A and B are shown apart, each in its own frame.
Chain A
Amino acid sequence: MTAEHMTAEHMTAEHMTAEHNGDRTYDVVVVGAGVAGALIAKRLTHAGFQVLVLEAGPSTAWTFDGYTEHLDEFYTAASKGPESAWPPAGNAPQPDTADVRSGGGYFVQRGPNKYGSSYTRLLGGSTLHWLGVCLRMLPEDFELRSRYGVGRDWPLGYDELEPYYREAEWEIGVSADVAEQEHLGIRFSGGYDYPMRRVPPSYSDQVLGAAVDGMEVTLGGEPFALKVRNYPAGRNSIPRGDYQPVGAVDERGDGQALAADLGQRCAGNTACTPICPIQAKYNAQKTLAQADRGNLRVIDKAVVSKILVDPVSGVVTGVEYQRYQDPGSPRHTRHTARARGYVLAAHAVENAKLMLASGLGGANAALGAGLMDHPALYAWGLSPSSVGAFRGPLSTAGIDDLRGGSFRGAHAAFRFDIGNDGWRATTGAPDTTVAAAVTGQGLFGASLRGHLEATLPRQVRFSVAVEQLWSSANRVTIDPRYIDPLGNPRPVINYHIDDYTLAGMAAATDVYKQMFSRAGIEDATDSGNSGWFPSAGYNGRVFHYHGMGHFAGTHAMGISAADSVIDADQRSWAHPNLFLVGSGSFPTMGTSNPTLTLAALSLRTAEKMIKELGR
Chain B
Amino acid sequence: MNTESLEMARLRDLLQAAVELELSTIPPYLCALYSLWPESNDTARLIIRSVVVEEMLHMVLAANVLNAIGGEPRVTGREHVPRYPHELPDGVVLDLLPFCPEAIEGFLKVENPQYSHRALGADHPLLAGRRPDVHLAHATTITQRPATIGAFYAEIIEGLEKAAATTGEQALFRGDPARQITRDYYYAGGGIPRPVTDLASARAALTEIIDQGEGDQASMYDSDGDLGHYFRFKQLKYGRSYLPLDDAGTPSGPEIDVDWTAAYPMIANPRGDDYGDPELRAASDAANRTWSGLLRQLEAAFNGFPEALLMAVPAMFSLRDLALVLLANPLPCGDGRHAGPAFEWAQDR
A261 near B: Cβ within 8 Å? yes
Which residues of A have CB within 8 Å of B42? 65, 68
Chain B nearest Cβ from A567, distance in angstroms: 43
User: A267 touches which one: B50, B191, B313 (CB < 8 A)?
Assistant: B313
Chain B nearest Cβ from A206, distance in angstroms: 15
A263 touches B188 (CB 8 A): yes
B275 near A: Cβ within 8 Å? no
Expressed in whole angstroms, the Cα–Cα distance for A262 and B49 within the complex equals 10
User: A264 touches which one: B187, B241, B310 (CB < 8 A)?
Assistant: B187
Expressed in whole angstroms, the Cα–Cα distance for A64 and B232 within the complex equals 17
A486 near B: Cβ within 8 Å? no
For B46, B188, B232, which residue has the most chain A Cβ atoms within 10 angstroms? B188
- Chain B residue at minimal CB-CB distance from A72: B39
Chain A nearest Cβ from B339, distance in angstroms: 23
- Chain B residue at minimal CB-CB distance from A267: B313
A254 near B: Cβ within 8 Å? yes
User: B187 touches which one: A75, A258, A259, A265 (CB < 8 A)?
Assistant: A265
- What does DSSP make chain B's interface, helix, strand, loop or mixed? loop
Expressed in whole angstroms, the Cα–Cα distance for A491 and B225 within the complex equals 48
A239 near B: Cβ within 8 Å? yes
B190 touches A75 (CB 8 A): no
B314 near A: Cβ within 8 Å? yes
A247 touches B241 (CB 8 A): no
Chain B nearest Cβ from A426, distance in angstroms: 26
A375 near B: Cβ within 8 Å? no
A268 near B: Cβ within 8 Å? yes
Among residues 182 to 206 in chain A, which have CB atoms less than 8 Å away from a CB atom of chain B?
Answer: 200
Which residues of B have CB within 8 Å of A263? 188
Given contacts A200-B310, A245-B187, contact A254 B53 (CB under 8 A): no
Expressed in whole angstroms, the Cα–Cα distance for A36 and B244 within the complex equals 36
A265 touches B188 (CB 8 A): yes
Among residues 216 to 244 in chain B, which have CB atoms less than 8 Å away from a CB atom of chain A?
Answer: 220-221, 225-227, 232, 241-244
Which residues of B have CB within 8 Å of A259? 46, 50
- Chain A residue at minimal CB-CB distance from B188: A264
Among residues 225 to 253 in chain A, which have CB atoms less than 8 Å away from a CB atom of chain B?
Answer: 238-239, 245, 247, 253
Q: Could you give, for residues 137-148 of chain B, a 1 whenever the CB lies within 8 Å of some chain A CB and a 0 otherwise?
A: 000000000000
Expressed in whole angstroms, the Cα–Cα distance for A247 and B50 within the complex equals 14
Expressed in whole angstroms, the Cα–Cα distance for A278 and B190 within the complex equals 15
Q: Could you give, for residues 182-205 of chain B, a 1 whenever the CB lies within 8 Å of some chain A CB and a 0 otherwise?
A: 011101111100000000000000
A256 near B: Cβ within 8 Å? yes
Expressed in whole angstroms, the Cα–Cα distance for A263 and B191 within the complex equals 13
Given contacts A68-B42, A75-B39, A256-B241, contact A261 B184 (CB under 8 A): no
Q: Could you give, for residues 279-319 of chain B, a 1 whenever the CB lies within 8 Å of some chain A CB and a 0 otherwise?
A: 00000000000000000000000000000001001100100
Chain B nearest Cβ from A31, distance in angstroms: 34
User: A261 touches which one: B39, B190, B227 (CB < 8 A)?
Assistant: B190
A255 near B: Cβ within 8 Å? yes
Expressed in whole angstroms, the Cα–Cα distance for A200 and B46 within the complex equals 28
Interface bin, chain B: 20 to 34
Expressed in whole angstroms, the Cα–Cα distance for A34 and B61 within the complex equals 40
Expressed in whole angstroms, the Cα–Cα distance for A264 and B186 within the complex equals 10
- Chain B residue at minimal CB-CB distance from A268: B314
For A64, A247, A257, A268, which residue has the most chain B Cβ atoms within 10 angstroms? A257
B221 touches A258 (CB 8 A): no
Expressed in whole angstroms, the Cα–Cα distance for A253 and B221 within the complex equals 12
Chain B nearest Cβ from A488, distance in angstroms: 36
Which residues of A have CB within 8 Å of B242? 254-256
B346 near A: Cβ within 8 Å? no
Expressed in whole angstroms, the Cα–Cα distance for A256 and B234 within the complex equals 13
Q: Could you give, for residues 253-289 of chain A, a 1 whenever the CB lies within 8 Å of some chain B CB and a 0 otherwise?
A: 1111111011111011000000000100000000000
- Chain A residue at minimal CB-CB distance from B317: A267
- Chain B residue at minimal CB-CB distance from A253: B244
Q: Could you give, for residues 195-225 of chain A, a 1 whenever the CB lies within 8 Å of some chain B CB and a 0 otherwise?
A: 0000010000000000000000000000000
Chain B nearest Cβ from A364, distance in angstroms: 52
B47 near A: Cβ within 8 Å? yes
B227 touches A255 (CB 8 A): yes
Which residues of B have CB within 8 Å of A268? 313-314
- Chain B residue at minimal CB-CB distance from A269: B317
Q: Could you give, for residues 50-65 of chain A, a 1 whenever the CB lies within 8 Å of some chain B CB and a 0 otherwise?
A: 0000000000000011
Which residues of B have CB within 8 Å of A238? 184-185
Which residues of A have CB within 8 Å of B187? 245, 261, 264-265
For B46, B220, B225, B241, which residue has the most chain A Cβ atoms within 10 angstroms? B46
Expressed in whole angstroms, the Cα–Cα distance for A256 and B226 within the complex equals 7
For B39, B185, B191, which residue has the most chain A Cβ atoms within 10 angstroms? B39
Q: Could you give, for residues 306-349 of chain B, a 1 whenever the CB lies within 8 Å of some chain A CB and a 0 otherwise?
A: 00001001100100000000000000000000000000000000
A255 touches B226 (CB 8 A): yes
Given contacts A264-B188, A267-B313, contact A255 B220 (CB under 8 A): yes
B227 touches A262 (CB 8 A): no
A258 touches B188 (CB 8 A): no
Chain A nearest Cβ from B215, distance in angstroms: 13
Which residues of A have CB within 8 Å of B232? 258
Chain B nearest Cβ from A569, distance in angstroms: 39
Expressed in whole angstroms, the Cα–Cα distance for A239 and B183 within the complex equals 8
- Chain A residue at minimal CB-CB distance from B53: A261
A258 touches B244 (CB 8 A): no
B314 touches A258 (CB 8 A): no
User: A262 touches which one: B47, B188, B191, B220 (CB < 8 A)?
Assistant: B188
Given contacts A68-B42, A200-B310, A239-B183, contact A255 B225 (CB under 8 A): yes
A254 touches B244 (CB 8 A): yes
Expressed in whole angstroms, the Cα–Cα distance for A302 and B348 within the complex equals 62
Among residues 135 to 191 in chain B, which have CB atoms less than 8 Å away from a CB atom of chain A?
Answer: 183-185, 187-191
- Chain A residue at minimal CB-CB distance from B38: A75
Chain B nearest Cβ from A463, distance in angstroms: 25
Chain B nearest Cβ from A81, distance in angstroms: 21
Expressed in whole angstroms, the Cα–Cα distance for A85 and B90 within the complex equals 48
Which residues of B have CB within 8 Å of A65? 42
Which residues of B have CB within 8 Å of A239? 183-184
- Chain A residue at minimal CB-CB distance from B246: A254
B184 touches A258 (CB 8 A): no
Chain B nearest Cβ from A255, distance in angstroms: 4
B188 touches A261 (CB 8 A): yes
Expressed in whole angstroms, the Cα–Cα distance for A386 and B297 within the complex equals 25
Which residues of A have CB within 8 Å of B226? 255, 257-258
User: A258 touches which one: B46, B183, B220, B313 (CB < 8 A)?
Assistant: B46
Expressed in whole angstroms, the Cα–Cα distance for A68 and B314 within the complex equals 22
Expressed in whole angstroms, the Cα–Cα distance for A278 and B46 within the complex equals 12
Expressed in whole angstroms, the Cα–Cα distance for A7 and B227 within the complex equals 20
A254 touches B243 (CB 8 A): yes
Expressed in whole angstroms, the Cα–Cα distance for A265 and B244 within the complex equals 31
Expressed in whole angstroms, the Cα–Cα distance for A264 and B183 within the complex equals 10
- Chain A residue at minimal CB-CB distance from B245: A254
Chain A nearest Cβ from B314, distance in angstroms: 7
Which residues of A have CB within 8 Å of B47? 258
Chain A nearest Cβ from B208, distance in angstroms: 15
- Chain A residue at minimal CB-CB distance from B243: A254
Expressed in whole angstroms, the Cα–Cα distance for A135 and B49 within the complex equals 35
For B226, B313, B314, which residue has the most chain A Cβ atoms within 10 angstroms? B226
Which residues of A have CB within 8 Å of B227? 254-256, 258
Chain B nearest Cβ from A361, distance in angstroms: 48
Which residues of B have CB within 8 Å of A278? 188
A247 touches B188 (CB 8 A): yes
Expressed in whole angstroms, the Cα–Cα distance for A604 and B241 within the complex equals 44
Which residues of A have CB within 8 Å of B191? 261
A–B Cβ pairs within 8 angstroms, 16 of them: A75-B39, A247-B188, A254-B242, A254-B243, A255-B225, A257-B226, A258-B47, A258-B50, A258-B227, A259-B46, A261-B53, A261-B189, A261-B190, A265-B188, A267-B313, A268-B314
Known: A254-B227, A256-B241, A263-B188. 8 other contacts (CB 8 A): A75-B39, A238-B184, A239-B184, A257-B226, A261-B187, A262-B188, A265-B187, A265-B188
Enumerate the 4 nearest inter-chain pairs by beta-carbon distance, A residue then B residue, closest first.
Answer: A255-B227, A258-B50, A264-B188, A264-B187
